[in-house]
Amino acid sequence: QKEVEQDPGPLSVPEGAIVSLNCTYSNSAFQYFMWYRQYSRKGPELLMYTYSSGNKEDGRFTAQVDKSSKYISLFIRDSQPSDSATYLCAMSPFDYGNNRLAFGKGNQVVVIP
């Protein structure tokens, strides 16, 4: 079983719709959870960063972590064409001294005007 599972999609939605992305993981030691956004022909950039379980909201973006189910989600409200990108989840244990992140494979999202 892969450490982090992420359905690669692609996911096409009409403008204004809610986008729902998720990742599952197997390592119960993961404590830090991140979502990166990667535009075509660019490097990933950090979008959301959460610690342990719970929700975090930033504008139109909400990140949820359910550690009991080993499941994280990213929601994008009122999606815009500019949200078209690949979204990668990433996670790390609490005391992982060499700074390694476990990445999902990425989920391509297309928002249709």
Binding stretches for other proteins (CB under 8 A): 8, 32, 34, 36, 41-46, 49, 88, 92, 98-101, 103-106
The amino acid at 74: L
The amino acid at 51: Y
Q: Which is nearer to other proteins, 39 or 78 (CB)?
A: 39
Q: Which is nearer to other proteins, 2 or 77 (CB)?
A: 2
Return the SS3 of 81: helix
Joined tokens for residue 97:
């001294």
Instruction: Provide the H-helix boundaries in 1-113.
Output: none
Q: CB of 7: closest distance to other proteins in angstroms?
A: 12
Q: Which is nearer to other proteins, 17 or 101 (CB)?
A: 101
What count of Cα atoms within 13 Å lies in the side-chain half-sphere of residue 110? 6
Hey, how many other C-beta atoms are within 10 angstroms of the C-beta on 17?
14
Instruction: Provide the H-helix boundaries in 42-89.
Output: none
Q: Which is nearer to other proteins, 14 or 43 (CB)?
A: 43
Q: CB of 20: closest distance to other proteins in angstroms?
A: 20
Q: CB of 106: closest distance to other proteins in angstroms?
A: 6
